[in-house]
Structure 1
Amino acid sequence: MNPKILIAIGVIGAAFIIIGMSVLFGALPKIVQDKVNEQMVLDENNTDIYDMFKSLPVPLQFRIWAFEADVSTFDGQHINTITYKKRGPYVYNEQRNKSFIEFSSDGNNVSYTLDKYYTFNKDESCPGCSKDDKINFFNPLFAMEQANLDSFIEANKKDPETLRMFESLIYNFDTIDDLLITGNSNLGQSILASKDFNTFIVDTGKSDIKQLEQVLSYADNSEITGVWPNNDDGSTSRCNKLIGTDATQYAPGLTGDETIWAFETLLCYSLYAKHGILPDRDVKDIPTYRYTIMKENFLETLENSCFCLEDDIKQCTSGMLNLKKCGAAIGFEFLASPAYFFEAPEHLKWTGLDKIVNIDDITEENCGTFFDIEPQTGIVLNAEKKLMLNIKVRPNAVPALKDLATDKYFNYQVSPFLYIEEAGGIDDENAKKLKDKLYPKKVATAALIIMIVVGVLLICVSVFLYFRQL
């Protein structure tokens, strides 16, 4: 064969490789990402993203376990002598819809209120469990702030039935459904389904796609107010910073190197998450990055000292957030913590949960909160949030607690109350829609890879034939 033809074949092969690699690793990702960014801007004309924004397409479930207390083992002084039985899960399906949606005149932000609806899922709940189950808890009314509790007792002195409940450490709630959803008649509110009438304002991503669905304002404030203290100099503390999205959507074009934030209304603060803590996984054959909420959100550090609501900072323990100024828990000293205190497992012995929980099972994978995010679109395809609610029990809160022990570190004890998991994964219909959006990039990528392979083969053939003729 004419050497000039062989050289031409090799040049063509080299051109295929250069063009293919330049487009594959240079122009193509930018072209595709720019197109995705355009489609992800929150706008009424972007039908798919707007429909997802209005009504969350990812089915959510709340799984709740209750720690039923057997106080026959209680020595009257130490909470950890109580024997607990973990009952559940009681599963509720959650539907989220946004109401009163209003875009700003320039289209850069949008306001709304969030509605949540709960339906008991008997099939997914524990065998034989019913939303009408009655469970014996350590009395959550004891978690009421002392001044409020004193007022409550004074107001009910003439009611023998009301006062009788203070003769025992057990209080039998009407039903698990009353406690979680409809609102218990004694607590006066529900743990899970209290209405949130506050207005959110979030970024639409129109002026900067990296700010897509970042919370700009909640309850008419650009920071969290009235819950956590500011810094000593009056500046906004880490605890009061309003950062992140609602953890259903993030900015498109994630690389895995970012720190992402989620604003959690149940805790009244923002938490940060990072990629690479737990292994990535595919969700319905769609590759994702797994971002994990960091332990440092809860650890006892100087940065987190603003979470302390005690008069003496030495009375605040690592990993427990007092919710007495937050949302539905206002007036009650419920202590929120990660699942089974996995960032501070020594608390298991303090609360008595060491009798029913194996400390070897307290791992990031079992107890951590994480989000599986499709990086090109920033859509959360799967998530698991895990949280415990505990009751702060004070000595002499009521006569029945007159002998409760204290030590040199804490003047209260902690009783486990509820363990809550919120989980959701994209359904088949929406997974298919997302795959369709990602399909053109896959086709283009495959074509370019084939082009590069052909280029390599052409060079190999031309070199082989050239030296064969020598």
Structure 2
Amino acid sequence: MGCCNRRCGLLAGAVFGAALAILGGILIPVGDQIIQSTVEKEAVIVPGTTAYENWISSAAFVYRQMWLFDVQNALDVVELGATPIVKERGPYTYKVRYLAKSNITAHNDAVSFLLPNGAIFEPDMSVGSEDDLVTTLNLAVAVSLPCLSVLPPLWVYIRYLDWLKASTKSSLFQRRSVREILWGYQDPILKDILGVFYPYNGTFDGYYTVNTGQDDISRVAMIERWQGESKLSFWNDTYCDTLNGTDASSFPPFVDKNKPIYFFSSDICRSVSSTFRETQDLWGIEVYRYVLPPSTFASPSINPDNKCFCTEKLVSRNCSMAGVLDVGPCRGGAPVYISLPHFLHGSDYLRQDVLGLNPSEENHFTYLDIEPITGFTLSFAKRLQVNMMYGPSKVISVLKHVKEYTVFPIVWLNETATLDEATADRIKAELFSRINLLENVQMSLIGIGAATFALCLVSYCCVRC
């Protein structure tokens, strides 16, 4: 009887263990549904949710490092037609995006807001002072070039005669402080304020109108309107003028790494896609790293979708130029061209027309680190280069030795933000703790049940023998 009781007890234990394992398996879809419900509740952009608190004001400051290109042979370029040689100077670092969203207005399942622009110089994170001098392209020359074909020759002659008396020694180039080049100076030619980022402080990006996700969580943070319009008006093409994706600060939850993500960037006046590269660990949080593919700024012959972004034939060499986006249509016609730093993934002749550039995939690519369950962007590096164009002219004497239209680099920027350890711990405690607890219960039931079943079954067999 004792042996029978032992066998019966072991058999009952095996059955109980199997039941626990089955219960754990049954709870997986139930638990997944609870996890999904929890995440969706916290991911909508309404007051009181985790997403809303992070959305109003980022927990991490955004810093913009900038490297300016200092021309080493300005006189030779003007007088002898030499190829410009540049040397990178930087970083000069500014704290940007430190102000909370403003003018927040909720309506139906969407919310509108403005992004305030501000820049504070960070000397401890910079190689020098804002007063450092750099030789760069004379912005007035570049800005004036598109107008020359419609200006009376006599007016042009008189205007530039005055300019030659008032401008710098080399004329085509100028030597100014970092502060002036970036944020603005009174130009003696155009009698106006010019600067790469002028105006900036005290201005706003937007209005943005984004979906709150209340009615459809797959639409959360998706941009519905920018500056009051549901589409862009720069490219005269339905595809290129489409507002597609979010502003990249967050994405709908449950990110599928096998699919690209989309976001709109007002810096380049268009929407772009980003593809999964690898998984990273950020303070114990698994994130998906997404990167801009080389096709983003590829020539239309490589990426036909980019055909509508080519708005002129001369500088782009009949739209064969790769690696550069002409954003003149959204910059009032100014000859401004955006690229990756050092013309990464750009046509070879871009680096032959300006010497001293050394593109590096490691240092010059753009990425987003996204937590896949919530869709929150926890770290990013936006790396872009601002270029302007100059070319040959029979009217302007300082351009008479210029042989080709040249896309000239002015500055490249590395705009970054990353989650700090304290904020990561708070996110893990507030949201992931509940998810992890449920997952641990599921796995524990399966593990304990399976172990109990196996142990009891083996013991039962041994007793029978």
Contact 2:290 2:367 in 1 (8 A): yes
Contact 2:164 2:171 in 1 (8 A): no
After superposition, residues 280-295 of structure 1 pair within 5 angstroms as 280-295=279-294
- Matched residues in 2 for 1:85 and 1:18: separation? 67
Name which of structure 1's ranges 62-71 and 4-13 shifts more when overlaid on structure 2: 4-13
Name which of structure 1's ranges 197-206 and 156-165 shifts more when overlaid on structure 2: 156-165
Distance 1:314 1:179, change over 3 A: closer
Contact 1:323 1:330 in 2 (8 A): no
1:370 maps to 2:373 = no
Contact 2:298 2:322 in 1 (8 A): yes
SS of corresponding position for 2:101: strand
- Matched residues in 1 for 2:131 and 2:195: separation? 15
Distance 1:72 1:36, change over 3 A: closer
Structure 1 residue 197: deviation in Å?
Answer: 5.8
Structure 1 residue 428: deviation in Å?
Answer: 3.5
Instruction: Select the residue among 6, 9, 19 that pairs with 1:5.
Output: 9
1:228 maps to 2:212 = no
Q: Which residue of 1 aligns with 2:407?
A: 414
Structure 1 residue 223: deviation in Å?
Answer: 0.8
AA aligned opposite 1:319: G
Structure 1 residue 463: deviation in Å?
Answer: 2.1
Instruction: Select the residue among 439, 450, 461 that pairs with 1:467.
Output: 461
- Matched residues in 2 for 1:287 and 1:185: separation? 49
Distance 1:10 1:189, change over 3 A: farther
For these two proteins, the number of residue pairs brought into alignment is 441
Contact 1:61 1:424 in 2 (8 A): yes
Contact 1:20 1:449 in 2 (8 A): yes
Q: Encode CA deviations 1:157-192: one digit per residue, 9 max, x unaligned.
A: 68457654485222122x2123323x2322624433
- Taking only the aligned residue pairs, the percentage that are identical comes to 25
After superposition, residues 53-64 of structure 1 pair within 5 angstroms as 53-64=55-66
Structure 1 residue 390: deviation in Å?
Answer: 1.7
Structure 1 residue 51: deviation in Å?
Answer: 2.8
Larger CA Rg, structure 1 vs 2: 2
Contact 1:156 1:163 in 2 (8 A): no
Structure 1 residue 274: deviation in Å?
Answer: 1.4
Contact 1:157 1:163 in 2 (8 A): no
Contact 2:69 2:87 in 1 (8 A): yes
Distance 1:22 1:258, change over 3 A: farther
Q: Encode CA deviations 1:85-112: one digit per residue, 9 max, x unaligned.
A: 11000000111421111101x2x00111
Q: Which residue of 2 aligns with 1:140?
A: 139
TM (normalized to structure 1)? 0.87
- Matched residues in 2 for 1:299 and 1:322: separation? 12
**Please, what is the CA RMSD of the aligned residues?**
2.5
- Matched residues in 2 for 1:244 and 1:425: separation? 21
Instruction: Select the residue among 17, 22, 27 that pairs with 2:30.
Output: 27
Instruction: Select the residue among 420, 424, 438 that pairs with 1:427.
Output: 420
Structure 1 residue 206: deviation in Å?
Answer: 0.9
Runs (5+) with no aligned partner, structure 2: none
Contact 1:148 1:331 in 2 (8 A): no
Instruction: Select the residue among 335, 338, 341 that pairs with 1:336.
Output: 338
After superposition, residues 101-112 of structure 1 pair within 5 angstroms as 101-104=104-107, 106=108, 108-112=109-113
Q: Which residue of 2 aligns with 1:456?
A: 450
- Matched residues in 1 for 2:32 and 2:354: separation? 54
Distance 1:62 1:5, change over 3 A: same
- Matched residues in 1 for 2:397 and 2:169: separation? 7
Q: Which residue of 2 aligns with 1:409?
A: none
Name which of structure 1's ranges 138-147 and 262-271 shifts more when overlaid on structure 2: 138-147
Instruction: Select the residue among 214, 217, 237 that pairs with 1:206.
Output: 214
1:37 maps to 2:40 = yes
- Matched residues in 2 for 1:28 and 1:155: separation? 78
SS of corresponding position for 2:45: coil
Contact 2:24 2:442 in 1 (8 A): yes
Structure 1 residue 244: deviation in Å?
Answer: 1.3
AA aligned opposite 1:33: Q
AA aligned opposite 2:209: I
TM (normalized to structure 2)? 0.88
Contact 1:340 1:348 in 2 (8 A): no
Q: Which residue of 2 aligns with 1:69?
A: 71
SS of corresponding position for 1:382: strand
Q: Encode CA deviations 1:25-76: one digit per residue, 9 max, x unaligned.
A: x221221121111122111243x43232222222111010001001257455
- Matched residues in 1 for 2:445 and 2:82: separation? 68
- Matched residues in 2 for 1:51 and 1:159: separation? 55
- Matched residues in 1 for 2:397 and 2:432: separation? 64
- Matched residues in 2 for 1:135 and 1:286: separation? 42
SS of corresponding position for 1:255: coil
Q: Which residue of 2 aligns with 1:233?
A: none
AA aligned opposite 1:334: V
Instruction: Select the residue among 44, 53, 65 that pairs with 1:51.
Output: 53
Structure 1 residue 138: deviation in Å?
Answer: 2.3
Contact 2:146 2:335 in 1 (8 A): no
- Matched residues in 2 for 1:162 and 1:116: separation? 36
Runs (5+) with no aligned partner, structure 1: 231-235, 407-411
- Matched residues in 1 for 2:80 and 2:442: separation? 68
Q: Encode CA deviations 1:307-361: one digit per residue, 9 max, x unaligned.
A: 11214674331121112122xx4332121111222223624532334x352x6xx
